[in-house]
């Protein structure tokens, strides 16, 4: 089966151009029987599977539709790591742990663990990805969780704006070590919002872009990779 990879859509509402574009992409993928891999930051914030927001309901519908013909996989990002088993069960998607070996030679990861120069972020990540933190947060009311997500986003914007450009990108050594540890020749990730294909001595690094001025998708067909940046407005066939 051919595969489609996307990340960093940062969806906020089903009413947005980005959501509509994502819906069309999913519809095409199901028609083409592509496997769908979402490798993090699908939504701007995911406060729990019990969220009854318009976005949460629209995504439930969309994935229920998608999984009828396309196996759909979700690997969490730093914005939506609270997406869990309840949503997976409702929609039929499969949750993946980060990192995930797609084949013995291809590694999928959201990408934030590769940004090792950002020591402050790595510390925060360790704390909020602990089972204890997740449990505490999920026991709060939806309203409280919404507030917490807004506050965390505010803090993150402040802290990112004080960091040098290279600190928020992947660390070359961390990438190399991941490739060596897992014995892969391709790594696919997002997170950094720096789309591109990097050919390195150990292999290739495919970086998905954030859906801002265009939508980013990586396809793998018969073992070949194709990266696209497509217009969010029209129904351009990718
Ligand atoms: Mn991210």
Q: What is the pLDDT of residues 54-93, one digit of tens each?
A: 999 999 999 999 999 999 999 999 999 999 999 999 999 9
How much is the pLDDT for 56?
98
Residue 237: inside a domain:
no
Residue 29: inside a domain:
yes
How much is the pLDDT for 235?
61
| Residue ranges making up the domain that contains 183 | 3-230
Q: How many Å lie between the centroid of ligand 1 and the Cα of residue 191?
A: 4
Residue 235: inside a domain:
no
Q: Exposure of 86 by Cβ count < 10 A (0-12 exposed, 13-18 middle, 19+ buried)? A: exposed
Q: For Cα atoms 119, 122, 127, give the angle at the middle one, nearest 5 degrees.
A: 130
Q: How many Å lie between the centroid of ligand 1 and the Cα of residue 44?
A: 9
Q: How many Å lie between the centroid of ligand 1 and the Cα of residue 1?
A: 27
Q: How many Å lie between the centroid of ligand 1 and the Cα of residue 238?
A: 24
Residue 146: inside a domain:
yes
Q: How many Å lie between the centroid of ligand 1 and the Cα of residue 11?
A: 12
- State both tokens at 86: 């309840």
Q: What is the mean pLDDT of residues 91-102?
A: 98
Residue 129: inside a domain:
yes
Q: How many Å lie between the centroid of ligand 1 and the Cα of residue 46?
A: 12
Whether the pLDDT of residue 234 is over 90: the answer is no
How much is the pLDDT for 149?
94
Residue 236: inside a domain:
no
Q: How many Å lie between the centroid of ligand 1 and the Cα of residue 70?
A: 24
List the CATH number of the domain containing 92.
3.60.21.10
Q: How many domains does the chain have?
A: 1
pLDDT band (50, 70, 90) for residue 9: very high
pLDDT band (50, 70, 90) for residue 25: very high
Q: What is the mean pLDDT of residues 88-100?
A: 98
Neighbours of 52 (CB within 10 A): 7
Residue 25: inside a domain:
yes
Residue 203: inside a domain:
yes
Answering whether pTM is above 0.85, one says yes
How much is the pLDDT for 1?
86
Residue with tokens 């409702």: 90
Q: How many Å lie between the centroid of ligand 1 and the Cα of residue 193?
A: 8
Q: Exposure of 136 by Cβ count < 10 A (0-12 exposed, 13-18 middle, 19+ buried)? A: exposed
Q: What is the mean pLDDT of residues 156-168?
A: 87
Is the N-terminal amide bond of 71 cis, ω within 30° of 0? no
Q: How many Å lie between the centroid of ligand 1 and the Cα of residue 99?
A: 14
82 near 48, Cβ under 8 Å?
yes
Q: How many Å lie between the centroid of ligand 1 and the Cα of residue 42?
A: 9
Task: Return the axis-axis angle of helices 17-31 and 54-66, rounded to nearest 10°.
Answer: 10
Q: How many Å lie between the centroid of ligand 1 and the Cα of residue 47?
A: 15
**Percent of the chain predicted with pLDDT > 70:** 98
Q: How many Å lie between the centroid of ligand 1 and the Cα of residue 159?
A: 15
Q: What is the mean pLDDT of residues 137-160?
A: 94
């Amino acid at each position: 089966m051919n595969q489609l990879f996307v990340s960093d859509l940062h969806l906020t509402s089903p009413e947005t151009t980005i959501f509509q574009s994502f819906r069309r992409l999913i519809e095409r993928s199901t028609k083409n029987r592509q496997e769908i891999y979402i490798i993090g930051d699908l939504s701007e914030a995911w406060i729990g599977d019990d969220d009854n927001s318009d976005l949460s309901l629209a995504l439930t519908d969309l994935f229920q539709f998608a999984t009828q013909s396309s196996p759909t996989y979700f690997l969490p990002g730093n914005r939506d790591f609270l997406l869990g088993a309840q949503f997976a069960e409702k929609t039929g998607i499969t949750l993946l742990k980060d990192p995930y070996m797609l084949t013995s030679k291809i590694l999928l990861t959201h990408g934030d663990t590769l940004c090792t120069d950002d020591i402050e972020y790595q510390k925060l990540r360790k704390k909020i990805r602990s089972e204890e933190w997740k449990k505490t947060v999920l026991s709060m009311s939806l309203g409280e969780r919404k507030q917490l997500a807004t506050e965390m986003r505010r803090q993150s914007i402040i802290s990112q704006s004080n960091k040098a450009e290279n600190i928020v990108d992947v660390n070359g050594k961390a990438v190399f070590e991941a490739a060596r540890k897992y014995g892969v020749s391709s790594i696919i990730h997002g997170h950094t919002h720096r789309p591109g294909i990097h050919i390195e001595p150990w292999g290739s690094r495919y970086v998905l872009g954030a859906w801002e001025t265009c939508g980013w998708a990586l396809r793998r067909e018969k073992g070949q990779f194709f990266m696209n940046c497509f217009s969010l407005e029209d129904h351009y066939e990718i």
